[in-house]
Structure 1
C-alpha cells in the first residue's frame, strides 16, 4: 500500500512540476462528492521539504493532520454533515530544483444523499379544445438530496390506431418536494403510461410504471366569470367556457360566511352564459367562483374569485336601546343605542333620529350623527322616547323607551362568578313569580355608568349572561333588570366584579380639619389606574406624639370620617386602600395638633362679670341711681372734718412769713425717692374784706411741668381761702406744661383758712375740676357720681388727716 501511495505521489509531483501550478496535490479517498454522515480521509502530497499543515473551511481553521510519509499527510473526516473545503499549505526552508511557487492547494467536498424513489404519481388531463389537451403529472421526490438532481418523466402514449411510439419529457425539480411536468396530447390518445427516473452524483432511482385512461382523468378548462351586476337581493354575471360541459357549480359567500354552492346545472354550449344568484342579503359584499365537469372525468379547477356589493334597503328591525338617569340631574334621561349590524342596518347609516313625544305633541325631534351612541333628553310624565336609524333607503322601525317605569318588587336572586377573563351573571326567579317579557343585564366600571354603560338584552327563558369584555384590574358593577309588558320593571344590583386584581398602587389623597377635640378626615378616590381592582375598605392610621397608633376601618363607599374625643397632643395621620388581595402602600403623612380646651366655668365667670360691668355703666346714666351712690358714700365719710388752720404745718408757716416749704411726694415714674424735695415759696397776703387773699409774689422752685404760670393776672384767685392748694395745677389755662395724669399713690396737701370762706367760689372751682376730670376720663359717663360737691362741717388739721378725693382715684385709674 505504501509503495502504491509513493508511486502515486511521485506521478502527481511530476505532473505538477511539468505544469508549474502547485507545489502540492490534494484529494479525497471518497472523491469530491460524498454521502452525508460518512467518514473518509483527505490527503496532501508536497514536492518540497517544508513545514506542512492542513486547513478546513473559510476562514481556514488549522486541523490536526497525520504524517503518512515524508511527502504526504492526511486528515480523517468523521461523519460529515455539510459541504466543506480543505486546503494544504507548505512553508519551505530550502528550494529544490524546478520547485514551483509555494501556493496552497485546496479541495471542495460536497455532501448529500442519493435520490429516493419517486412516489405518489398523479396525472390530470385538461381539454383545451376539441383537438388537444394538456396532461399534467406530478410526484413526490422524497427527501432533499442537497445535490443537483436530474429527473426524467418517461411517457408512452397509446392512441386509438396504436401507431405512435413512446415519448420522453425531462423536468428539473431541484429545491422542491413535489415535481411536476406537463405535455400536450392529442384527443385521439386513449391511454398513457408514465414512469419517473431521477439521478444525481451519488446514485439514481426509478418509480413504478402507472397506466392512465384519459377518460378517467379528463377535466374541462377552468371557467371565466364576468363582473357581477347586483340588486339588493340578486347578482347576475357571465360564465365563459372553451368546450361544452354537462355540469357547472357556482359558489358564493359574504365576508363573514362560508362558501355556499348553487345547484348544478347542465350546460350544452361553449359560448357565454348568463347566470343569476338570488336570495342574497342587502348591502353585503359577496364573492363568487365556478368550476365545471364533463359527464365523465374530474371537476375543473376553481375560477378566480370575483366580488360585488348588493344594494341597500331600509332597515327592517329596531335598534337595541337602553337608558340611564344621571344622579346629579334627575330631570334628564340619557338614551343609549348599539351600532346595528349589517343585517339590521341593510345599508350605511347616515344619522339617528331621537324623538320625545307626549300624548299631545312632539317635544323633541333631533337628528344625531352616525358616530354617536347616546343622547340626553328631558324627562316628562307620560313621555315616550323613540330612536330610529336612517340609511339612503329610509328609517328603521322606532325603538321605544318609557321614561317612567313602575317599579316592581325585586325578585331575582343574582350570583356572579368569574372564570379566566370572563364573568357569568346568573339569576333565578321565584317559582311563584311570573317571568318578565325580557331581561336586560347592564354593567359598567365603578362610578362610570353614564360614560361606559354596556348592556345585553336576553329572552324571557334565559337565566344567565356571559360577559367577556371585562378589563383586568378594573372593578365593575351593574344590575339585572326584568321588563314586563305592563311597563313595570325589577332591578337587582351587583357590585365588586373583577377578573384580575392586585394591591392598590398608592394611598388616597387625605385632607384634615380640626375642630376642638375632633378631626374630620376627607379623601379623594384613587384614580382607576391605581386601584388595581375593587377597593374593599380604607384604613385610617392615627398616631400621637408618644407613638401610640390607632387604626380606623372605613367602608369603600365613604369619602369622610370623623374622629372624636381626642386628647390634647400632636398627631400624625395617614391612610391606605385595600382590595381582596391585600393592603396597598400608605399615602403621605399629615400632622395636626389638638389644643387643650378652656374650662367652661371660666368662660361663664368672664361672661357674667362682663355683663355686670356693662349693666353698672348703664345704670350710672340714671340720676336716681347716682343719688343712691352719693348717699352710700357719705355714710363712709367721717362725721367731724378737722380744721387745717390748727395744723403744725400752718403754725410753721405763720412763724416764717412769706415762705412755705411744700414737700410733694410724686409717684410719677420720673421722680425717685432720693431726689431733693421741691420747695415752694408762698407769700402770705393780708386778708381782704371778701375773704379772698391775692398773691403778689410767688417764687416757685417747681419744675416747669408743675410750676405756676408767671403770666397769671394779679386779680386771679389762685387759692381760695376755704378751698385747697393742689401740688399739680389744673386751673391755669395759660400753662403749656399741665400734668395730665396722677398716680394713685400721690398725696395731696391742703391749706385752709380759719373760716369756711366763700362756699360759692368753692363750688365754682369744684365744677371746673369736674370738667377737667371729664376730659381725662373720656371713657367714663359724662355725669360722674363721685365728682359732686360734698358738704362737710367742722374743722380740719393737716396733721390729723390727708384727704384723697374720688376724683384722683378715677384720674389714676
Structure 2
C-alpha cells in the first residue's frame, strides 16, 4: 500500500520509481523545498542498493520506516524553521539530501501610490509588500491597457517596492495594480485609477540667496515658472516652525518673510505646486539666513558683592548677566561702566562680565553696547550690606536642584524684591543669582553640580537699604572625598607644624566638615587630631626626640572619609636654637645660685655664733702639732740664763751683702711687776687681754721678758757696741724690722710671722692666711712693739685670726 499523502507527492514518487535514481549517486531525496510554515509532510529517500540506511535532520539521527527494499519514508510534523535532511548508507561516505524552507504566501500589496516626476516625467508607483514571506517572492506592476503591460519592480527599502513607467501620447488617465507571487501562493492589490494632473509633482525650488535686515528676510529663486502656490516655513534653532503661504504668479522670483527677531539665525524651508487643485507639493528645499543687529533695548541684570577683606577703603565687585540674543539684538562688543562720586563721573569700557569699584558712597551705571547702539543704563547705588540672623532652609529636589525657603522680614520696612545669590565654595567668580518677587519666600535654584558644595545668601532689597541672610553647605548629594589633602610638615624640636592644601572642588564629594590628622609612632600607637573645616594647619607638641613618626591627613564629608594617602615620615631632632637657649638658661641659673649662696654665707659670717662655729670647724682642719715659741730653743736658753743674751736678727737691706749681714743686739730684762690696777699699753704688748688670761700655761711658771735692741752706730764697724746700763735708749723690735727681714731658716728657730702688708697687722702662719672681708673688721690688731711673752701662742689665739 502507498502511504497517505497528497496526489502530487504520490505521482512524483511513482515517477521516480519508474525512472530510477541518477547513476552517479547512491541515493536521492524527494520532497518540496519550500513548505508552509508549521505544516506536516513526508520525505522519501530512494537507495540504489541494499544497505543499512540512515536518515538525519540537521545531523540528528531520525527514526524512519521502509516503504520497500530501496525506499524509506519520514513524516515531518509542524516544521517552523529551515532545516536540512540527509540520507546515506552506513558504510558509504557519500550522502544525499535536501534543504527545506518553511514560509508564507505573499500578502496583498498595500498603499499603492503613483507620482509623475515633473510635468513631462515618468510615473513612479510604490507599494508595501506586507509581511515577510521567508521565501522568494516577486512583484509586478500591471498597467491597464490593451493588452495590460507588466513592469518589473525593485526594492526601495524594507517592505516597499516601486516601479517606473513612461507616459506615451496624450493619455492622462491610468489604472494600475500589483501582482505578488511565490511558490506558496499569489496575491493582487486593488486597482488604482488616476489622472496625471492629480499626480504631477514639480521639481523642488532652487533658492539662490537670502537677504535679511534686522526684522525680515527675502528669499530668491530662479525656477518658479508655472508655480501658483508657494509655502515657506521658518524657525529659530531649537524652536518650532512658523508657516507662511504665498500665492504666486509667473513673474514672481522672491518672497519676503516678516516679523523676525534681530541678530537671529533662521532656518527656511520652501515648497510649491502647480496650482491650488493641480498636482502635488514638491519636496522641501532648506536654507539658512541671519537677521541684522539693532541697539539693545533691555537693561542688564546687575548685582554686587562687598570685599570684606578691605578695611582701609570700601571695595565692591560688580557682576552682570549676559543678554540673550533677543535682548542683545546683536553682538555685545563691550560694557560701559560709569562711576559717579562727589559729582565726578568716570566712564570705563569693560569686555568681561565683572568690574571692581573702590568708592563709597557712589553710584554706578552699566550698559551694553553693540555695533548699532547702547542699551538703557542700569543704575546701582553701592552701599554696605548688613547681615540678618535669619536661617535659610534648603531641601534637595534632585541631583541638580535645591529648594530654598527663608523667613519674611519682621520690620515694617517693605521689601521691594528678594535676590538669591549662590556660588561654589572657593569660586566666587562663578556667582549666580535670581530675583524673586516680594510676595514669595521660596525658590528652586537649578543647574547645580552633584557632589559640589555651594554657599550664598538671600538678599532683602529695601527702599532704605540692603540686608542679607547667609547660608552655606548646600549640596544636592554627597559622597566621601575622592582625594586626601597633601600635608607639609615643619619639625621644630619636640613640635611639628602641619599644613595641608585644599582638595580640588571636583574631588571633595560635597561639603567638607572636618580634617583628621593621624600621627603614628614607632611603637604603633596612632594619635588622632580633629580640625574643623576650613582650618588647614595645626601644631602638635610633646614629641619624643629621635623617634620616627608617620603622619597623614584625611578629609570628611557627611558621607564618609577620604582614603589614607600622602604619608609623611619625620624624626624630631633638637634644634641648635633650643640647645643654645637651654645652655644659656642653665648657666644663668647656675651663676645665680652661686651668687646668692656666697652672699648668704658672707652675711651669716657677721653673726658671732656663726663665726665661732666656723672657727671650730677650721680648728679641726689645722695640723695636730702647732709650734709654740715658748718651747723653742731660744726661749729655753733665755730661761736658763738669768743674765743678758744677745740675739742677732738679720735685717733686710738691699745694700747689705749676704756674707756679712747686719745684726741687732738684743738684751733681755726681767719683766717688771705691775701694780694692781695698772694697765699695759697696746703698743708694748701683742694682745693685752691675754696677759691676765688664766688659761696660759706660762703665766705662773715663766716670767715674761722683753727684748731691747741696740742700734748700730755704724754700718762699717766690725764690733757691736752693747750697753747694759739703763741709760741706753731701748728700742723694741718693730714690726717693720721683722717684716722687712727674711724668714730664718734655722731648724732650731721656730718663729712664725703674720703680715698682710700693714704696720699693725701680722700673719700668724703661712699656711693659715688671715682673711679679709668687706664686712669684717681686722681680726688681729697689734701694736708697734713686740715682747716675747706676747709671742706665746695657743690654738685659741690662732683661731682668732679667722
TM-score under structure 2 length normalisation? 0.65
Is 1:688 matched with 2:666?
A: no
Is 1:25 matched with 2:25?
A: no
> Is the 2:199–2:280 Cα contact (8 Å) retained in structure 1?
no
Task: Tell me the distance in 2 between the aligned counterparts of 1:412 and 1:645.
Answer: 105
> Is the 2:755–2:763 Cα contact (8 Å) retained in structure 1?
no
> Is the 1:479–1:491 Cα contact (8 Å) retained in structure 2?
yes
Is 1:791 matched with 2:789?
A: no
Is 1:147 matched with 2:163?
A: no
Task: Tell me the distance in 1 between the aligned counterparts of 2:468 and 2:631.
Answer: 110
The correspondence for 1:287, drawn from 267, 275, 279, is 267
Change (3 A) 1:359 1:72: farther
Q: CA deviation at 1:115?
A: 0.5
Map of 1:16 onto structure 2: 22
Change (3 A) 1:105 1:378: same
Is 1:110 matched with 2:98?
A: no
Q: CA deviation at 1:143?
A: 0.7
Change (3 A) 1:115 1:479: same
5 Å-filtered alignment, 1:345-424, equals: 345-362=328-345, 365-368=348-351, 372-375=352-355, 377-405=356-384, 407=386, 410=388, 414-421=392-399, 422-424=401-403
Task: Tell me the distance in 2 between the aligned counterparts of 1:516 and 1:92.
Answer: 98
Map of 2:430 onto structure 1: 452
Kindly provide the CA deviation profile for residues 547-566 of structure 1, in whole angstroms up to 9, marking residues without a partner as x. 9999998765666899999x
Map of 2:305 onto structure 1: 324
Change (3 A) 1:72 1:431: farther
Task: Tell me the distance in 2 between the aligned counterparts of 1:472 and 1:414.
Answer: 20
Is 1:232 matched with 2:238?
A: no
Task: Tell me the distance in 1 between the aligned counterparts of 2:755 and 2:454.
Answer: 106
Map of 2:35 onto structure 1: 34
Task: Tell me the distance in 1 between the aligned counterparts of 2:800 and 2:210.
Answer: 132
Q: CA deviation at 1:390?
A: 4.2
Q: CA deviation at 1:498?
A: 1.4
Q: CA deviation at 1:424?
A: 1.9
Change (3 A) 1:296 1:725: farther
Q: Which deviates further from its counterpart, 754-763 or 182-191?
A: 754-763
Map of 2:327 onto structure 1: 344
Map of 2:64 onto structure 1: 66
Is 1:479 matched with 2:467?
A: no
Task: Tell me the distance in 2 between the aligned counterparts of 1:136 and 1:577.
Answer: 73
Task: Tell me the distance in 2 between the aligned counterparts of 1:65 and 1:653.
Answer: 167
Q: CA deviation at 1:116?
A: 0.9
Q: CA deviation at 1:789?
A: 7.4
Task: Tell me the distance in 1 between the aligned counterparts of 2:538 and 2:62.
Answer: 86
Task: Tell me the distance in 2 between the aligned counterparts of 1:440 and 1:367.
Answer: 25
Q: Give the secondary-structure state (helix, strand or coil) at the position aligned to 1:305.
A: strand
Change (3 A) 1:433 1:115: farther
TM-score under structure 1 length normalisation? 0.65
Structure 1, unaligned runs of 5 or more? 94-101, 158-163, 594-602, 656-685, 697-719, 730-749, 775-781, 807-813
Map of 1:277 onto structure 2: 257
> Is the 1:766–1:789 Cα contact (8 Å) retained in structure 2?
no
Kindly provide the CA deviation profile for residues 220-268 of structure 1, in whole angstroms up to 9, marking residues without a partner as x. 5543333212222222122455663543221111212211112x33223
Q: Give the secondary-structure state (helix, strand or coil) at the position aligned to 1:227.
A: strand
Change (3 A) 1:615 1:315: farther
5 Å-filtered alignment, 1:189-338, equals: 191-212=173-194, 221-239=203-221, 244-262=226-244, 264-269=245-250, 271-293=251-273, 294-296=275-277, 300-329=281-310, 331-338=314-321
Q: CA deviation at 1:305?
A: 0.4
Q: CA deviation at 1:278?
A: 2.2
Change (3 A) 1:763 1:227: farther
Q: Give the secondary-structure state (helix, strand or coil) at the position aligned to 1:344.
A: helix
> Is the 2:29–2:45 Cα contact (8 Å) retained in structure 1?
yes
Q: Give the secondary-structure state (helix, strand or coil) at the position aligned to 1:442.
A: strand
Q: CA deviation at 1:345?
A: 3.0
Task: Tell me the distance in 1 between the aligned counterparts of 2:169 and 2:264.
Answer: 44
Give the root-mean-square deviation of aligned CA atoms. Answer: 6.1
Map of 1:160 onto structure 2: none
Q: CA deviation at 1:380?
A: 1.1
> Is the 1:326–1:334 Cα contact (8 Å) retained in structure 2?
yes
Q: CA deviation at 1:204?
A: 0.4
Aligned residues: 670
Task: Tell me the distance in 2 between the aligned counterparts of 1:32 and 1:467.
Answer: 70
> Is the 2:21–2:27 Cα contact (8 Å) retained in structure 1?
no
Q: CA deviation at 1:118?
A: 2.0
Q: Give the secondary-structure state (helix, strand or coil) at the position aligned to 1:226.
A: strand
Structure 2, unaligned runs of 5 or more? 4-9, 573-584, 638-646, 660-736, 784-789
Task: Tell me the distance in 1 between the aligned counterparts of 2:215 and 2:169.
Answer: 43
